[in-house]
Structure 1
Amino acid sequence: MLDALYHIDRHRHLFTGRELVALHYAEVVTTSARDVSEELWDELQEYFDDGEIVEITTVVGLFNFFNRFADALKINPPPT
């Protein structure tokens, strides 16, 4: 599934419409949150209620924060 996420254009068939909309939203929020369009908002509302959209946005925002925090402080993940 990680490979499918990395190459999502070739593996769209592996994801539900709900998952694809959430992934697209996460990408837009991560790269340029002000670019969440009315069309994308309408697509989200087809699959998610307002509370779920808030939850998705919170998770995306938190993970963006964690990544930026760790990058700024040059914190590497622990070895496995």
Structure 2
Amino acid sequence: MARQFGVSEELLDALYHIDEQHQLFSDRELVALRYAELMTTSARDISENIWDELRANFDDGEIVELSSVIGLFNFFNRYADALELHQKS
């Protein structure tokens, strides 16, 4: 889907190596990606520093929307995994 919206292969590949490819992302994108990773792996560990960075880059409505999208996609992934739904090639 990202390709359909014009996201380059280079940027998609960089998502797997954000620490090494961080220069390809804006500060706003980096904090959103860090937040998504934390929300997905250890939501209780989201620090005040992350909240400060979020607030510096997003307004309250955007943070709610970002959180909702992350949570929704986490749900989709867990639902599909639990039901062993696999994408056909």
TM category, shorter: over 0.9
Question: After TM superposition, which residue ranges in structure 1, 4 or more long, deviate above 3 angstroms?
Answer: none
Q: Structure 1 residue 10: deviation in Å?
A: 1.1
Partner Cα distance (1:47, 1:10) in 2: 22
- Paired letter, 1:31: T
Separation in structure 2 between the aligned mates of residue 10 and residue 36 of structure 1, nearest angstrom: 22
Percent same amino acid at aligned positions? 66
3-state secondary structure, aligned to 2:20:
coil
Residue of structure 1 aligned with 2:77, choices 45, 67, 70: 67
Alpha-carbon distance in structure 2 between the residues aligned to 1:16 and 1:75: 34
Q: How many angstroms apart in 2 are the aligned matches of 1:26 and 1:66?
A: 14
CA root-mean-square deviation: 0.7
In structure 1, how many angstroms separate the alpha carbons of the residues matched to 2:35 and 2:61?
Answer: 15
State the partner residue of 1:52. 62
- Scaled by the length of structure 1, the TM-score of the pair is 0.95
Q: Which runs of 5+ in 2 are unaligned?
A: 1-10
Matching residue's letter, 1:49: D
**Number of equivalent positions:** 79
5+ residue gaps in structure 1?
Answer: none
Shift of 1:77: 1.3
